Amino acid sequence: MSIRCRVCRVELKDEDIVVLDDFNILRHKRCYDFEYYDHLVDSVGRLEDLQGKLPRFMLEVYKEVLAIGDPKNRLPEEIPDEEVYASLAFLGN
């Protein structure tokens, strides 16, 4: 499975430095418009480290949803990141 940069459309490589934004979109760091969209940056790093990661903002949203039906009545902030990823994998994502 290949991922292309949203800006230049070139395929992203494992060792490329990329930007993950709040909308779960990956772009080359060199293609990212930091001047205008700096506030939307979630993480910057090598593709192999960021691939499959959800932006912090989206993790929080999923935790809110999981907390609603949580049998242990935990608060969203008590739910670990791993549990969000596990439930998404369960849904076949």
Please report, as ranges, the residues that interact with Zn ion according to CB under 5 A.
5, 7-8, 28, 31
> d(Cα 32, Cα 12) in Å, to the nearest integer?
13
In the bound complex, which residue of the shown chain has the CB atom lying closest to Zn ion?
A: 5
> d(Cα 74, Cα 56) in Å, to the nearest integer?
19
End-to-end CA distance of the chain: 14
The residue (of 6 and 74) whose beta carbon lies closer to Zn ion is 6
Q: How far is the CB of 90 from Zn ion (least distance, A)?
A: 33
The residue (of 3 and 67) whose beta carbon lies closer to Zn ion is 3
Q: How far is the CB of 25 from Zn ion (least distance, A)?
A: 11
CB 63 within 8 A of CB 78: no
Q: How far is the CB of 28 from Zn ion (least distance, A)?
A: 3
